[in-house]
Structure 1
């Protein structure tokens, strides 16, 4: 650390819309107040990283993205109470902890969710990162910006995990895996003996399949167009799979479930798939929506079908989870062998970050994890 209380780091910088990530020398300031400085071991790559890189969401550039970080606490600010240097942590989304939604246990719907996760600075309007020329880099992405060797988070979004858990694997629990599993367990509250359909068998959709099995659903259906994903869904606990290129998923779901599914999740971000999900619900069925298309995207449904069927369409952010409780729960389930999300991931070195992004976008890899530090 220099005399000016900055750490020298390496960071993957997004300088222009849709441009490749460029690994650069940079600096990050020391933690203050309730901040935690984390040496990042590995970071998951999520669909949101790519849509921000491509400016579907207007995060200012140049920026350091990355929001599924896992690492070891290097330093803490003076107001940090429960986290210590050396703790193993998973970094999750930012939230204020004091608005009505946060106080009611729904931090994913925080009044300040957008600025804390997408405005490109801290809540004070300042960045913590500088490039090699001393120019500011937009950061605080999901209150972390973990495509870097070090990241700053707040104590409330740094979640301690057991030291005997495989830390480099755990970063995706901070967003993508938490979203799929939480949608099933926290939001939809899938019940034992029920039916559940995952529209999309990517990392989020297959995390939902894993969670539906944990929740005790006895009919678990995965819908996708990639045969290898459907094969993996069967391995992870799906009882049925449907390739929607080959057959009508709505008709097939109604046949399997004798009239319609009780629960469904849409993770593709495609309006036409959401419509299929709504149409596949049985009486009093509920569908969660986690797939994120471009801002302003419209979808449609048959109003009378929803009205007379008593159907529920539920938007879900971050699996509606309390991360301090839910992430350790997922770690425990993994360690018990009941939530094998490691079957979804592939590791990449830091200098392969653009390959990881390309493989994710092409569907070659379900959940890339980028090894940042050794």
Structure 2
């Protein structure tokens, strides 16, 4: 099998195409163990979370085969797997919930304790890492998926079966961007019709949140990003106004008079989180879905919580239940209400993964997809 492997983190500012940051390598192809399946990856998607591992913002054990957002076909079943079939079309998700920990039993599988443990160690839900070089060197798994490859062994719990007729270029984005952005609006904030929403950060996650806010019936959807090239795209996704961070306060005041009901922070910046709290009306909620550097700290006036009733809500994978939510969101797409195709910038061969990293840093792509 072929996979894109990261052997060492590189500092921000690196030109990845020149540094050959990720190397396409031949690895021994493993067979699925009990509770696992083998998947032929047909299409994978590049996300800022991958970039966070590359630059060390998200500390993961190396070497690691990267990629966590993908679609594929089941090609083999491990012992005991009976509820999925060879040939099934599957979206892969990056939290393989165990079903028995405290979070899973509370109906919050995105916060699965066991999944957090194995995702952090580079292992799989049902056992240790399987990937090896020809010389026997261990290659860690990325979030139980390692999608920048032509094949992956994943836990059965990492796969959601979808209809055969959903194009791979659409399905590939449902396992992370769509789940995270739409879930932040529907599951975490529970945006109601008539409420006002600001979305800060217009990558694929933020734009998915914009689409969800429109579906929820938000009266005003204000989208914020320093990259002016994304503003029209945000409007196409459902935003009623778009501007730079310098425009945010004015746009919110013009739309609401005193602040939005919900702000979604999709940047991964403590400073942006603080700015988002300032955009809220009394009793408003800031939903944080971005991943700041582990050393980042948030300093805000404490009185705005009890004094103004504001809430700060963390949202990992959009508080999603993947089996439920992916099918629901695909229903929106099938009904013509969710134009996910707008997020698809282009599709490239896997050999151009490093150029993709550079494009993501430059902000010239929303979701670049790769075929092995």
- Common fold by TM > 0.5: yes
The question of 1:194 aligning with 2:195 is answered yes
Tell me what 1:301 maps to: 300
CA distance in 2, matches of 1:191, 1:92: 27
The question of 1:359 aligning with 2:359 is answered yes
Contact 1:201 1:233 survives alignment (8 Å): yes
Determine helix, strand or coil for the equivalent of 2:277: helix
For the structure 1 residues 282 and 313, does the alpha-carbon distance in structure 2 shift closer, same or farther, using more than 3 Å as the test?
same
Deviation of the 1:42 alpha carbon: 0.8
Contact 1:168 1:371 survives alignment (8 Å): no
CA distance in 2, matches of 1:122, 1:87: 21
For residues 121-160 of structure 1, the aligned pairs below 5 Å read 121-123=123-125, 126-139=128-141, 141-160=142-161
Determine helix, strand or coil for the equivalent of 2:330: helix
Contact 1:95 1:116 survives alignment (8 Å): no
Tell me what 1:62 maps to: 63
Tell me what 1:262 maps to: 261
Tell me what 1:327 maps to: 326
Deviation of the 1:57 alpha carbon: 2.3
Determine helix, strand or coil for the equivalent of 1:296: coil
Q: Kindly report the root-mean-square deviation, in angstroms, between the aligned alpha carbons of the 2 structures.
A: 1.4
Contact 1:157 1:323 survives alignment (8 Å): no
Deviation of the 1:124 alpha carbon: 6.5
Deviations 1:57-114 (A, max 9, x none): 2211111011012100000112112110000000002222111211221011111232
For residues 54-133 of structure 1, the aligned pairs below 5 Å read 54-93=55-94, 94-123=96-125, 126-133=128-135
Deviation of the 1:154 alpha carbon: 1.2
Tell me what 2:251 maps to: 252
Deviation of the 1:242 alpha carbon: 2.0
The question of 1:348 aligning with 2:340 is answered no
Contact 2:186 2:212 survives alignment (8 Å): yes
Deviations 1:249-296 (A, max 9, x none): 224313321211011100111222211110111111111001111102
CA distance in 2, matches of 1:135, 1:35: 22
Compute the TM-score of the two structures, normalised by the length of structure 2. Answer: 0.94
Deviation of the 1:239 alpha carbon: 0.7
Structure 1 unaligned spans of 5+: 1-8
CA distance in 2, matches of 1:222, 1:151: 36
Deviation of the 1:334 alpha carbon: 1.3
Please identify, of 126-135 and 201-210, the stretch whose mean Cα deviation from structure 2 is larger.
126-135
Determine helix, strand or coil for the equivalent of 1:184: helix
For the structure 1 residues 186 and 124, does the alpha-carbon distance in structure 2 shift closer, same or farther, using more than 3 Å as the test?
closer
CA distance in 2, matches of 1:266, 1:278: 10
Deviation of the 1:121 alpha carbon: 2.0
Please identify, of 32-41 and 235-244, the stretch whose mean Cα deviation from structure 2 is larger.
235-244
Determine helix, strand or coil for the equivalent of 1:208: helix
Structure 2 unaligned spans of 5+: 11-19
